[in-house]
């Protein structure tokens, strides 16, 4: 039996994942000032977040699968240097086209985080894999949640350009730290890149667990992205008139939702993935339902939004770990590809949520945006019901029935 992953390596992977993925979210609370500086109209402001997520989805499909083919440490190093250059380009951009192109590139390079997560699973023993993945994903989620308040605070004292310039320096430094500290991992792969990419369709077609977990999280992540695109616009609007510092404080409190990650990992290790998934989806619905009854009091209304953000973030954090734990049980030789497909699909849901949220808010108002947000996890919950009914009607399937031809050699 191999030795389990050390705490220091888990901490390094968690911190690195958080810093890397934060690059995708700095712009969320800065949509207003970035739009004003680059000339984007309000109805198109969601593109600032959407294109970053689109770039991430492309990287998940065409870069992350390389984790099953190339030495992982070198792959992470190159991706991070590319991300650092893209962040610098965003800081230097002066019109919408330049910034949106840089946003796409930021997403593409930031997929290094999704090479690190299956790397952690590979280094872990089966009995602790869920907890290890939960800890690394906790760091990833803390990065997502810290990105918003940190970006707002820096922008409040300097400018939004300073946010991206500083991020560029930090990501470049991280690239060299990881190259020095991480162990090498050379996959046992015989596929060419073309066959590797071709195998993605076969993995999607032949892995019911992947399709279900991606659908569940696409619903939750679509709601999550919509919430954090729309709410900062509302908070800086006429009713609340919060400064960037105020929005930063609001986003900081929402970090409490990350505590759900290790709890979800333990539940998954103990075999409670199905009911825990339902709880996560219900939390997503509740996060949008609560603000529907927002009172007239400004202070209480902000408090209601804070609670909603924590509830929603808890649902997203828990469901992400549940999905990755289920997928990483299917075989080391396909982990990077499964993880890439999984993230690409639910990030497509996130991109849809970001673009839809800004448009619905501008066109139909706050209440319509909340109802649209509820629809995302509600649709996922309806799909979950079919799994719950099937699990009662049929005995548990062996692993061989869950995924066929796991090596991806079909391509």
pLDDT of residue 411: 30
Domain of 250, CATH number, reads: 1.20.1250.20
User: Considering its fold, how many domains does the chain have in total?
Assistant: 1
Which H helix or E strand runs over 97? helix 96-109
411 occurs within a structural domain: no
Q: Compute the distance between CA of residue 219 and CA of residue 193 in angstroms, rounded to an integer.
A: 31
User: Shortest CA distance to 96 belongs to which of 7, 141, 36?
Assistant: 36
Residue that wins the pLDDT comparison between 19 and 232 = 19
Residue that wins the pLDDT comparison between 291 and 123 = 291
Rounding to the nearest 10 degrees, give the CA dihedral for residues 112, 16, 18, 277: 70
Domain with 333, as residue range(s), is 7-392
Q: Compute the distance between CA of residue 272 and CA of residue 262 in angstroms, rounded to an integer.
A: 14
pLDDT band with cut points at 50, 70 and 90 for residue 265: confident
Residue 251 predicted with pLDDT over 80: no
Residue 176 predicted with pLDDT over 90: yes
Torsion-angle region of 270 (φ positive above 0: left; ψ -120 to 50: alpha; else: beta): alpha
pLDDT of residue 3: 61
* Cβ pair 55, 83 in contact under 8 A: no
409 occurs within a structural domain: no
pLDDT band with cut points at 50, 70 and 90 for residue 232: confident
77 occurs within a structural domain: yes
User: Shortest CA distance to 163 belongs to which of 87, 71, 54, 225?
Assistant: 87
379 occurs within a structural domain: yes
Residue 298 predicted with pLDDT over 90: no
pLDDT band with cut points at 50, 70 and 90 for residue 189: low
Burial of 95 (0-12, 13-18, 19+ CB in 10 A): exposed
400 occurs within a structural domain: no
Highest mean pLDDT among 23-37, 187-201, 210-224, 310-324: 210-224
* Cβ pair 285, 316 in contact under 8 A: no
Q: Helix axis angle, 298-328 relative to 335-364, nearest 10°?
A: 160
403 occurs within a structural domain: no
* Cβ pair 402, 237 in contact under 8 A: no
Rg for the chain, CA atoms, rounded: 20
The two counts, helices (H) then strands (E), for the chain are 17, 0
406 occurs within a structural domain: no
- Burial call 164-185: b when 16+ CB within 10 Å, e when fewer: bbbbbeebbebbeebeeebeeb
| Alpha carbon 63 to its chain's center | 16
**This prediction's pTM:** 0.74
- Terminal Cα-to-Cα distance of the chain (whole angstroms): 32
Q: Compute the distance between CA of residue 288 and CA of residue 379 in angstroms, rounded to an integer.
A: 14
Residue 395 predicted with pLDDT over 60: no
317 occurs within a structural domain: yes
Residue 125 predicted with pLDDT over 60: yes
Q: What percent of the chain has pLDDT over 70?
A: 92
Q: What is the mean pLDDT of residues 192-206?
A: 87
Residue 402 predicted with pLDDT over 70: no
- What confidence tens digit (pLDDT) does each residue in 36-47 have? 888 887 767 778
């Amino acid at each position: 039996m191999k030795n389990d992953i050390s705490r220091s390596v888990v901490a390094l992977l968690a911190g690195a994942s958080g810093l890397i993925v934060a690059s995708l979210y700095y712009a969320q609370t800065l949509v207003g000032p970035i739009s004003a500086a680059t000339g984007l109209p309000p109805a198109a402001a969601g593109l600032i977040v959407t294109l970053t997520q689109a770039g991430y989805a492309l990287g998940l499909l065409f870069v992350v699968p390389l984790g099953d083919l190339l030495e992982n440490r070198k792959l992470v190093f190159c991706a991070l240097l590319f991300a650092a250059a893209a962040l610098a380009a965003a800081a230097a951009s002066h019109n919408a086209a330049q910034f949106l192109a840089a946003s796409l590139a930021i997403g593409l390079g930031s997929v290094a985080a999704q090479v690190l997560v299956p790397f952690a699973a590979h280094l872990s023993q089966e009995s602790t894999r869920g907890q290890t993945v939960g800890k690394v994903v906790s760091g990833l989620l803390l990065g997502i949640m810290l990105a918003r308040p940190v970006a707002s605070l820096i922008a409040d004292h300097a400018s939004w350009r300073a946010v991206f310039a500083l991020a560029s320096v930090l990501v470049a430094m991280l690239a060299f730290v990881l190259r020095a500290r991480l162990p090498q991992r050379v996959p046992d792969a015989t596929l060419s890149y073309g066959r590797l990419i071709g195998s993605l369709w076969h993995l999607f077609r032949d892995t019911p667990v992947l399709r279900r977990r991606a659908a569940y999280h696409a619903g939750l992540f679509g709601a999550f992205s919509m919430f954090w695109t729309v709410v900062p616009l509302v908070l800086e609007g006429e009713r609340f008139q919060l400064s960037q510092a105020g929005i930063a404080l609001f986003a900081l409190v929402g970090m409490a939702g990350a505590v759900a990650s290790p709890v979800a990992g333990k539940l998954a290790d103990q075999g409670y993935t199905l009911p825990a998934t339902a709880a996560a989806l219900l939390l997503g619905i509740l996060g949008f339902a609560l603000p529907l009854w927002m009172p007239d009091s400004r202070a209480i209304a902000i408090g209601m939004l804070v609670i909603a953000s924590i509830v929603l973030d808890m649902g997203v954090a828990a469901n992400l770990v549940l999905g990755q734990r289920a997928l990483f049980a299917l075989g080391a030789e396909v982990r990077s590809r499964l993880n890439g497909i999984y993230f690409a699909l639910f990030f497509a849901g996130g991109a849809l949520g970001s673009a839809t949220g800004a448009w619905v808010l501008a066109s139909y108002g706050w209440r319509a945006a909340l109802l649209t947000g509820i629809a995302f996890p509600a649709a996922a919950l309806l799909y979950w019901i079919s799994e719950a009914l099937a699990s009662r009607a049929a005995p548990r399937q062996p692993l061989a029935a869950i995924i066929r031809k796991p090596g991806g050699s079909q391509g």
